[in-house]
Amino acid sequence: MDPDFYKKRRKERLFNRLHKSTVSVCMGVTAIGTFFIGYKVYEFFRYVRPLHQVQSKLVEDELLFEGRNIEDTSENLS
């Protein structure tokens, strides 16, 4: 039997374990990242987007109210 056979086998086992560990870490990071991004998307559509819609509606209503006030004052001055 080849004397280096066991050394090669030991190296192969070590590399296989390292590779398996690296793949496991990458899968874990992917799973956690997917969960985190999914939560942020949910948070955006549940809380942030409606808030922006309400704020833009308030700004639009305020501009319309200011426009009506300008028209009312110009009619009263004539």
pLDDT in tens, 4-61: 878 888 999 999 999 999 999 999 999 999 999 999 999 999 999 999 999 999 999 9
pLDDT of residue 50: 96
Question: What CA–CA distance (Å, rounded) separates 28 from 39?
Answer: 17
pTM above 0.85, yes or no: no
Alpha helices, DSSP H only, in the chain?
Answer: 5-43, 49-77
76: confidence class by pLDDT, cuts 50, 70, 90: low
pLDDT of residue 18: 98
pLDDT of residue 5: 77
pLDDT of residue 8: 85
CA atoms within 13 Å, Cβ hemisphere of 75: 6
26: its two tokens: 């990458």
